[in-house]
Amino acid sequence: MNFIEMMNWRYSVKHFNSEKVSQDKIDIILEAIRLAPTSMGLQAMKVFLIEDEILLKEIGEKSCIQPQIKECSHLILLAAREDLTDEELNEFIKRNMDSRNVSEESLSGSKSMALSVQKKDKSEFLDWSMRQTYIVLGIALAAAASEKVDATPMKGFNAQAMDEIMNLKGKGLASSLLIALGYRDEENDPYANSPKVRKAKDEFIEVK
């Protein structure tokens, strides 16, 4: 499948069958998430892989009643950072020094950019970090499709309840997006064979 075939193959699954996604494929999707670009490479988020059935049940009852939660093989939660602590900022600089074998002085530009992000007020920072999770979402969906794994991006959940279930309170994290993974239930998912609905190319893209 080329990339466009892959994008046509994928859709946001409403019903999954009971087949489990192999650990190899999950690892590839998680690695794609880790490699996703983020602003300055700050990766101001935490990624949770949820496979525990009791936890999935609790999420299905208290945060998201959509059937994908009950039926998926694995669930990924992208939780955005509420702030950038000094510790994280120092780790960011150290990671750059170690990975690229460069001096701290050579990273002064990156450090001042990161400091300007750190100074944002809380709601502005969270807005910024949540937007970073959407980039990761796009990469995860493409990676899943390339592995022929079905994935549903999900915002339709109670984020506060999710924060409580996942014990995020006081950890500087806020639930942003869910990605349900599994395999489409062709028989019970009305969307399984329905055509894509998108704006026409000329309407959507303007060449200047």
Q: Containing H/E element for 79?
A: strand 74-81
Q: What residues line the site for ligand FMN (CB under 6 A)?
A: 11-12, 14, 66, 152-156, 196
Q: Nearest approach, Cβ of 99 to ligand FMN (angstroms)?
A: 31
Q: Nearest approach, Cβ of 35 to ligand FMN (angstroms)?
A: 20
Nearer to ligand FMN, 11 or 16 (CB): 11
Nearer to ligand FMN, 73 or 96 (CB): 73
Nearer to ligand FMN, 11 or 92 (CB): 11
Structure tokens at 105: 């002085």
Q: What are phi and psi of 182, to 5 degrees?
A: 165, -150
Nearer to ligand FMN, 84 or 130 (CB): 130
For residues 101 and 94, what is the distance between their CA atoms, to the nearest angstrom?
10
Orientation of helix 108-118 relative to helix 86-100, angle to 10°: 150
Q: Nearest approach, Cβ of 14 to ligand FMN (angstroms)?
A: 6
Comparing CA positions, the residue from 52, 36, 24, 4 lying closest to residue 149 is: 24
- Bridge partners of residue 165, in order along the sequence: none
Q: Nearest approach, Cβ of 152 to ligand FMN (angstroms)?
A: 5
